[in-house]
Structure 1
């Protein structure tokens, strides 16, 4: 994928997700961020909205990293527990989303932050990454 990407960004994950596959997002948080989100979705349809396998939303006011899914228009149960908030305004970060058989494992700057168990079982259908909010993307892989 290209190195500098404009937000909001929507990109294709070649072949979709599968156990052992990793998605890498490197970027820099804006100086005065409110929030940003990284989502893995099943296609890029807006109407009806594509199913969201996992959405990570960093909220700076609450220092929370929220996770959820949205399937057939229904949002799932939101998860918010994290050991610490890893993002710092005006600082670079590296998010890795590793797909395993039962779950996504999410690492920030090399530290495992949480697991998110799959709510969409057809992993290969998860073929799109969407990124928006208060950040710059420096690398995607």
Structure 2
């Protein structure tokens, strides 16, 4: 199981956005009542040992009652963004992109359905495979995002921001 720690200088990967992570230290496990405040959004934690084929991140949460958007990013510290997922509720889009060597790549938006419902829980799994990240929401495969960052072990930070509450990470 991976563990999370605190990132020092954190950004969301989206130009113009910055996350405030003051005082948040979180183990990458289901929280007790005292630990629930440690999964507050915006959230930033380290992925011990980085990513590798076969590793999975599970994010369980509840969408806010009147959501605007939320972002989940897997980054190489505060440098490259290996995967940024941006859920946009107004147009029911789930955008994906990567920021490598100082520039954003081509944005991907195609999905078979928009899985997030206001005020409802969800379970997102991000599976690291040899060629891509496979993202599954509530047991349904949603998309594959082919790796643009090739040093998977350098992907050591997860950042979560926006209109959701995190209930579990592992």
Q: Same fold (TM over 0.5)?
A: yes
SS in 1 for 2:153: helix
TM-score, with length taken from structure 2: 0.78
In 1, Cα distance between the equivalents of 2:101 and 2:41? Answer: 25
- The structure, 1 or 2, with the larger RCO (C-alpha pairs under 8 Å, 6+ apart) is 1
In 2, Cα distance between the equivalents of 1:72 and 1:119? Answer: 10
> Residue 35 of structure 1 aligns with which residue?
69
* Larger gyration radius, structure 1 or structure 2: 2
Count of aligned pairs between the two proteins: 136
Q: Can you list the C-alpha shifts for 1:83-117, whole angstroms capped at 9, x where unaligned?
A: 00000000000110000000000000111100000
Write out aligned runs for 1:1-141 (5 A): 1-2=28-29, 3=31, 4=36, 5-43=39-77, 45=78, 50-141=79-170
- Runs ≥4 in structure 1, deviation > 4 angstroms? none
TM-score, with length taken from structure 1: 0.94
Higher strand share: 1
CA RMSD of aligned residues (A): 0.8
